[in-house]
Structure 1
Amino acid sequence: MKTPIAAATAALAVVISAHPANADSNRLNSSVVQMVSIVQYKAGCRDKVRVHAQLQQAAQRHALNVRDDRALAGHIGSDGSTAQQRAAAAGYPGSVQETVAINPALAISSMELINMWYSHPEDLAVMRNCANTDIGVWSENSLDRTVVVAVYGSPPHDAASMPTGGGDSR
Structure 2
Amino acid sequence: MWLGASAVIAMITAPTAHADNSRLNRSVIADVYTVQHHAGCTNDVVANGPLQLAAQWHALDVLNDRSLDGDLGSDGSTPQSRAAAAGFPGTNVAETVAINPALAISGIELINQWFDRPDYLAIMRDCRYSLMGVWSENSLDRTVVVAMYGQPATPQR
Query: TM-score, normalising length from structure 1?
Result: 0.85
| Other-structure match for 1:165 | none
Partners of 2:31 and 2:139 in 1: CA distance: 24
Say if 2:99 is the partner of 1:102: yes
* Distance apart, 1:11 and its partner CA: 4.3
Say if 2:19 is the partner of 1:21: yes
Contact 1:19/1:142, CA 8 A, preserved across alignment: no
SS at match of 2:93: strand
Letter in 1 for 2:75: D
Partners of 1:13 and 1:136 in 2: CA distance: 35
Deviations 1:96-124 (A, max 9, x none): 00000000000011111001101110110
Give the number of the structure whose alpha-carbon radius of gyration is greater.
Answer: 1
Please identify runs of 4+ aligned residues in structure 1 that moved more than 2 A: 5-15
Contact 2:96/2:147, CA 8 A, preserved across alignment: yes
Partners of 1:11 and 1:109 in 2: CA distance: 32
| Other-structure match for 2:83 | 87
Query: TM-score, normalising length from structure 2?
Result: 0.92
- The partner residue of 1:122 within 112, 119, 122 is 119
Q: How does 1:129-140 map to 2 (within 5 A)?
A: 129-140=126-137
| Other-structure match for 1:149 | 146
Contact 2:63/2:144, CA 8 A, preserved across alignment: yes
Say if 2:69 is the partner of 1:55: no
* Distance apart, 1:6 and its partner CA: 3.9
The 1:12/1:117 distance shift into structure 2, 3 A limit, reads farther
- The partner residue of 1:34 within 13, 30, 41 is 30
* Distance apart, 1:158 and its partner CA: 2.2
* Distance apart, 1:8 and its partner CA: 4.8
The 1:8/1:72 distance shift into structure 2, 3 A limit, reads farther
| Other-structure match for 2:9 | 10
The 1:8/1:70 distance shift into structure 2, 3 A limit, reads farther
| Other-structure match for 1:72 | 68
Task: Give ranges in structure 1 of 5+ residues lacking alignment.
Answer: 161-170
Contact 2:99/2:145, CA 8 A, preserved across alignment: yes
* Distance apart, 1:133 and its partner CA: 0.6
| Other-structure match for 1:164 | none
